[in-house]
């Protein structure tokens, strides 16, 4: 087992990464605040891991709420089901909420924990690659709105993160590939050596080699923990973690959060960001080609939905958390392993990138 630390002073917490961690009560119970526990999971994860987690909690008063599975259920109506369960079970402000599932469960349950009685303790037990390498770490919690992704949320840190790599054995291939988009992101924005390692080791990762997966998760979490420690509330450098996300969120919003997974949309968005960076003269074409090749190796899409126009992108990108003073800010590349947040880019190059990736006239 690897243990990392997210260094946020009094809000610091450990990330445990390894095999068979869902049999380790000693990792979980020290982070539980009182006798009351509410587990939030979904219909896919519950049959696989809910009872295993409940077995670790036999000394506690354990309740549960099982939500539908899918990004389209990451909304205020479903969030309210968690509040209903907490109130029906008369949970107090020392109740510990446990998020057992992927990114949707982690984001929704974390936001519920941030809001209920103005904040109750919560623990992340991520069960997908995407949530283990990204969304469970850093305290970003939110739900979606029909007009924009993650527009309603809060920064709220967990007490700990328990990433049991065995849970990836039950993950379908498409979800595994989706998680790899966030992994590749770290290589592009701040860790060029990791990007090169991924180029060499992608076959082992896709084969779910345990050592390769542990390296992927540990390196990704360390990169994210380092960035979050520098900028918890995304006032500066943390925005780099959103490479490809402004383009990607536009795809997710356009498709109604149904037909594209988050990582699939981000993958296409990262290639679009690389393309724009090259048009600006900041990186050369070989960097774009390496990016595209690695995304293809990871079996991720490299073009948006065929029915998306440039106008669709512009409409959805205008409703993004990084927009300031009506200016779209993007994360762009200066090299593989070096990135910047900027609104200072040639609008004609931006238009050319949108035109190159869309197949219909506006």
Q: What is the pLDDT of residues 149-191, one digit of tens each?
A: 899 999 999 999 999 999 999 999 999 999 999 999 999 999 9
**Options 2.60.40.10, 3.40.47.10, 3.40.50.1000, 3.40.50.1970; CATH of 2-170:** 3.40.50.1970
Residue 278 clears pLDDT 90, i.e. is over it: yes
Exactly one of 31, 74, 149, 182 is catalytic; name it. Answer: 182
Exactly one of 177, 224, 290, 321 is catalytic; name it. Answer: 224
Q: Do domains 2-170 and 174-357 have the same CATH topology?
A: no
Q: For position 148, what pLDDT does the model report?
A: 85
**Per-domain residue ranges of the chain:** 2-170, 174-357
**pLDDT, tens digit (0-9, with 9 covering 90-100), for 326-347:** 688 999 999 999 999 999 999 9
Q: What is the rounded average pLDDT for all residues in the chain?
A: 95
Residue 65 clears pLDDT 60, i.e. is over it: yes
pLDDT band of 362, cuts 50, 70, 90: very low
Exactly one of 31, 63, 238, 316 is catalytic; name it. Answer: 238
147 is catalytic: no
145 is catalytic: no
pLDDT band of 147, cuts 50, 70, 90: confident
Average pLDDT over residues 243-267: 95
Q: For position 132, what pLDDT does the model report?
A: 98
The percent helix, strand, coil of the chain (3-state, each to 5) is: 50, 20, 30
359 is catalytic: no
Exactly one of 31, 63, 140, 185 is catalytic; name it. Answer: 140
Sheet of 36-42, strand order? 2-6, 13-18, 161-164, 122-126, 96-101, 36-42, 61-67
**pLDDT, tens digit (0-9, with 9 covering 90-100), for 198-241:** 999 999 999 999 999 999 999 999 999 999 999 999 989 999 99
Exactly one of 9, 10, 90, 118 is catalytic; name it. Answer: 118
Alpha helices by DSSP H, listed for the chain, are 25-28, 51-55, 76-88, 103-115, 129-130, 173-189, 192-206, 210-230, 245-254, 262-279, 285-297, 310-317, 347-357
Distance CA 264, CA 54 (A): 33
242 is catalytic: yes
Are the CB atoms for 109 and 84 separated by under 8 Å? Answer: no
238 is catalytic: yes
Exactly one of 177, 242, 252, 321 is catalytic; name it. Answer: 242
Exactly one of 149, 262, 279, 329 is catalytic; name it. Answer: 262
pLDDT band of 359, cuts 50, 70, 90: confident
Are the CB atoms for 15 and 160 separated by under 8 Å? Answer: yes
Percent share of the chain, pLDDT over 70: 97
What is the pTM for the complete model shown? Answer: 0.94
264 is catalytic: no
5 is catalytic: no
Residue 324 clears pLDDT 80, i.e. is over it: no
Q: For position 338, what pLDDT does the model report?
A: 98
Q: For position 112, what pLDDT does the model report?
A: 98
245 is catalytic: yes
Are the CB atoms for 340 and 299 separated by under 8 Å? Answer: no
User: In this structure, which topology does domain 174-357 adopt according to CATH?
Assistant: Dehydroquinate synthase-like, alpha domain (1.20.1090)
Residue 320 clears pLDDT 70, i.e. is over it: no
């Amino acid at each position: 087992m690897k243990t990392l630390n997210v260094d946020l002073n009094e809000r610091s917490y450990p990330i445990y990464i390894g095999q068979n961690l869902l049999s380790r009560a000693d990792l979980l119970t020290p982070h539980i605040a009182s006798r009351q526990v509410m587990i939030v999971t979904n219909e896919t994860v519950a049959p696989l891991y809910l009872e295993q987690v409940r077995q670790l909690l036999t000394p506690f008063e354990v309740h549960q709420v099982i939500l539908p599975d899918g990004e389209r259920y990451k909304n205020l109506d479903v969030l309210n089901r968690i509040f209903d369960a907490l109130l029906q079970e008369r949970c107090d402000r020392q109740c510990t909420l446990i998020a057992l599932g992927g990114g949707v469960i982690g984001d929704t349950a974390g936001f519920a924990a941030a809001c209920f009685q103005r904040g109750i303790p919560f623990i992340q037990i991520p069960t997908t690659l995407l949530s283990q390498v990204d969304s469970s770490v850093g305290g970003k919690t939110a739900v979606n709105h029909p007009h924009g992704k993650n527009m309603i949320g809060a920064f709220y840190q967990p007490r700990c993160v328990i990433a049991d790599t065995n849970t990836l054995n039950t993950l379908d291939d498409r979800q595994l590939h989706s998680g790899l988009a966030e992994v590749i992101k770290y290589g592009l924005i701040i860790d060029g050596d990791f990007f090169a390692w991924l180029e060499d080791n992608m076959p082992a990762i896709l084969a779910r080699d345990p050592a390769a997966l542990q390296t992927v998760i540990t390196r990704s979490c360390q990169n994210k923990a380092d960035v979050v420690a520098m900028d918890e509330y995304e006032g500066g450098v943390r925005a780099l973690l959103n490479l490809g996300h402004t383009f990607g969120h536009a795809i997710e919003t356009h498709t109604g959060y149904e037909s594209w997974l988050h990582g699939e949309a981000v993958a296409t968005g990262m290639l679009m960001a690389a393309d724009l960076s090259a048009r600006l003269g900041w990186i050369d074409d070989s960097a774009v080609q390496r990016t595209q090749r690695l995304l293809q190796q990871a079996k991720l899409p490299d073009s948006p939905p065929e029915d998306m126009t440039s106008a669709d992108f512009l409409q959805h990108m205008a409703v993004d958390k990084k927009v300031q003073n009506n200016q779209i800010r993007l994360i762009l590349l200066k090299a593989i392993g070096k990135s910047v947040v900027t609104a200072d880019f040639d609008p004609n190059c931006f238009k050319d990138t949108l035109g190159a990736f869309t197949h219909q006239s506006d």
